[in-house]
Chains A and B, each alone.
Chain A
Amino acid sequence: MATATASATGKETGGFWSRRRKLRLQNHLLTYLVLVPGALLFLYPLLWMISTSLKPKHQIFTYPIEWIPDTWMWSNYGEVFNQVPFLTYTINTAIITVIGVIGTLFGSSLAAYGFARFRFPGKDALFVLMLSTMMVPIWVTLIPSFLMFRWFGWLNSYLPILAPAFFAQPFYTFLLRQFFMTVPVDLEDAARIDGANRLQIFLNVMLPLSRPALATVAIFAFFFYWNEFLLPLIYIQDQSKFPISVGISAFVSEYRSDFALMMAASGMALAPPMIVFFLAQRYFIQGFVLSGVKG
C-alpha cells in the first residue's frame, strides 16, 4: 500500500530521472515509516520482559508503568535458582536438545539420501507417504504411543521424546533431500571409481558437502527440542527430570503473582534460542528458502 501512493504522486515532476529519484526517496521514507515503529513493536514484549525481570517487587505493580528499575535487581535471576532447581532444568533441556538434534540429523539425512540418490520401486509413493505423515496430528498417535512406551518401561525417561528423532522427521528429510539433489553427481562418481561404497560416499562426500543444509536442520531441531513442552509434560513425572518448559509451567502455577521471577526465568529460557539465532541467522533463513520457494 505504501508503494502505490508513491507511484501516484510521482507524475507531476519534470524529467524522467528526477522523477525516479523523488520516487525512490519517497519509497525509502515510507519504508522507514512502516519498519521503524513495527520494529519497536516487535521488540516491545522482550523489553518488557527484561525490564520486569530487573525490577524490585514494589515497582512491578505500579501504574503508569515505570520502565527503569529504582534498584537493578540482578538478584531476581539468582532467586530463580533458589526457588526451583533451575540449573537442573537447564541441564535436562540441554541433554534433550543435544540428543534430539543428533538423532534428527542422523535419521533424516539417511532417509533424505535414500530418496535423493537411488532408484527403487515405489520410491515416489513412499516419499508422498512420508510427506503425508506431516498431516497426522500428534494427538492421534499419543495414546497408543503412551501405552507402548509404558510397556517398554520408558515412562519418566527421555526415551519417548528422543527415540523417534532417530527415525527421520518428514519435514527435515524433505529439506535435506531438496539440498542433496542440488549437489552434482560427478563428485560422488569420482569417489565411486575409487572404490568407495554408497555408505562411505554418503559419509565422506555428501555430508561434508551438505554442511549448510545440515546446519539448517540442526538449528530448526534445536529450537524444537529446546521448547518442547507437551511430550515432557506427559512423560516426565520427577521434578529432577523436568526440562525448562515443564519447570516454568510448574513454577508459574505455584508463584502466580511473582512476575519478576517469572520474567527472569522466561528470559533465561529464551536466551539460548536468541543466541543461536544471532549466531546462525543465515542458516535459519536458508531453511525457509529451501522449503518454501519450490514448495
Chain B
Amino acid sequence: MFRSELLRREAVQGYLFILPWFIGFLVFTAGPLTAALGFSFTDWNGVSAMEWIGFENYIQLSQDSRFWQSLKVTLIFTFFYLILNLIIGFALALVMNQPVRGMRLFRTIYYLPAVLSGVAVAVLWSFLFHREFGALNWLLGFIGIKRIGWIVSESWALPSIIIMELWRVGSTIIIFLAGLQGIPPELYEAAEVDGANRRWRLWSITIPLMSPTIFFVLIVGFINSMQVFTQAYIMTRGGPNYATFFYSINLYQTTFRELRLGYASAQAGVLFVIIFIITLCILWISRYRVNYELV
C-alpha cells in the first residue's frame, strides 16, 4: 500500500516534469500535423472558402514537373552531400586523431565554419563563387582550371551548394573524433600483435566500432539536408533554370507566392512521408549492420 502510493506520486511528478514538452507537442507538432493532413485534401488560399477535393492535390502532384524536379534536386543534393560529408569527415577525423603538435589549433580552424550558417554564410559564398572576381576561380586558376560559372551555371549550381555545405564538415569531424577516442586502445594493440596492418585494422576494428556513430551522422544529416532552404533562397532562388530548385524552395513558393495552401500541405506531407520512410530504412539497416556490443 505504502509502496504503491510512493510509485503513484513518482509517476505524477514525472508527468508534471514532462508536461511542458507534451503541451508543446500537442500544440506545435501533433495539432498542426493533423491539420496539415486535413488541408492536403482541400483547395484553399487562406481567405476564401475551403473546398474539399479529396485526393485531387496528390493526383496533381504526381503530374507536376516542378514537384518532380524539386524532389530530384533535393535527393541528388542529399545523396552527394551525405556521402562526401561522411568520407571527408571520417578521413579528417582519422588524420586529426594523431598526437601531433599544434592539433588544438588545427581542430579549432576546422571546427570554426561549423558554427557559421545561414544568410551571412550564403552571402559570403555567393561572392566567393563569383565567376569573374571570385576568390575560388582565382585560386583554381593557379592549377590551370578555367573559370567556372558556379552558382550561375546550370550544371555547377548544385555542386556549388554541396561544396559550401562541406565547408561545415567540422561538426562531423567532432562526432567522429569523439567516437574514435572511445575505441579501447587494447583492441589495436591486440590486432598489432596478431600482425594486422593499418588498413586491415581500419576495416576490421575502426569502421565496425564506429558504425553507430556513422549511422547517427547519416540520420541527422539526412533529415537536415532534405529541408535545405536558406542557401538556395539567398544564392540562387532555385535557379538557374531550376537547377537548385530544392523541395523547400518549391514549398515556399507554393505557400507564400501562390497561396495554394492545400496543395502546399500535400507537398509537405509527401516530404514528411519520404523522410519518415528513409529514416526508418536507415535505422533498420543499422540494426543489422551495427556492432553495438563492443562499444
Contact = CB atoms under 8 A, between A and B. Distances in A.
Interface string A101-128: 0000001001101110111110100100
A38 interface: yes
A210 to B, nearest CB: 14
B124 A45 contact: yes
B20 interface: yes
Contact of B133 (A60, A118, A143, A198): A60
A218 interface: no
A134 B223 contact: yes
Interface residue SS majority, chain B: helix
B128 A45 contact: yes
A138 interface: yes
Given A139-B227, A168-B24, A38 B268 contact: no
B255 A142 contact: yes
A168 B21 contact: yes
A62 B121 CA distance: 23
B291 interface: no
Contact of A137 (B119, B176, B197, B226): B226
A111 B123 contact: no
Interface stretch (B59-67, B76-84, B269-277): B269-277
Given A107-B24, A135-B223, A292 B213 contact: yes
Contacts of B267: 139
Interface stretch (A68-76, A77-85, A262-270): A262-270
A39 B96 CA distance: 12
A209 interface: no
B234 A141 contact: no
Contacts of A13: none
A106 B284 CA distance: 34
Given A120-B15, A288-B178, A31 B109 contact: no
A147 interface: yes
| Interface residues on chain A, size class | 35 or more
A186 B220 CA distance: 35
A281 B111 contact: yes
Counting chain B CB atoms within 10 Å of each CB, the highest count among A45, A143, A277 belongs to A143
A164 B227 contact: no
A264 B139 CA distance: 22
A181 interface: no
Interface in A259-295: 259, 262-263, 265-267, 269-270, 273-274, 276-278, 281, 284-285, 288-289, 291-295
B279 interface: yes
| Interface residues on chain B, size class | 35 or more
Interface string B21-61: 11111011101110110010000001000000000000000
A144 B175 contact: no
A1 interface: yes
B14 A284 contact: no
Contact of A293 (B35, B138, B213): B213
A64 B137 CA distance: 10
A292 B215 CA distance: 10
Given A135-B279, A141-B28, A292-B178, A270 B116 contact: yes
A214 B14 CA distance: 20
Contact of A119 (B10, B24, B33, B127): B10
Given A118-B11, A293-B178, A249 B119 contact: yes
A121 B11 contact: yes
Given A4-B198, A4-B199, A133-B29, A107 B20 contact: yes
Contacts of A118: 10-11, 13-14, 17
Contact of B27 (A43, A117, A167, A198): A167
B96 A64 contact: no
B14 A120 contact: yes
B14 A277 contact: no
A163 B279 CA distance: 28
Given A32-B100, A120-B15, A143-B36, A223 B117 contact: yes
Given A107-B20, A140-B33, A270-B116, A288 B14 contact: no
A45 B31 CA distance: 43
Given A139-B248, A142-B268, A294-B212, A234 B256 contact: yes
B213 A138 contact: no
7 contacts: A113-B17, A121-B11, A143-B261, A144-B36, A227-B120, A252-B123, A294-B295
Given A114-B16, A142-B268, 18 more contacts: A32-B100, A35-B96, A44-B139, A48-B124, A65-B133, A126-B22, A135-B275, A140-B268, A140-B271, A168-B18, A227-B119, A263-B124, A266-B121, A270-B121, A277-B112, A281-B108, A284-B115, A285-B174
The 5 closest A-B pairs by CB, nearest first: A167-B24, A118-B14, A114-B17, A295-B216, A227-B118
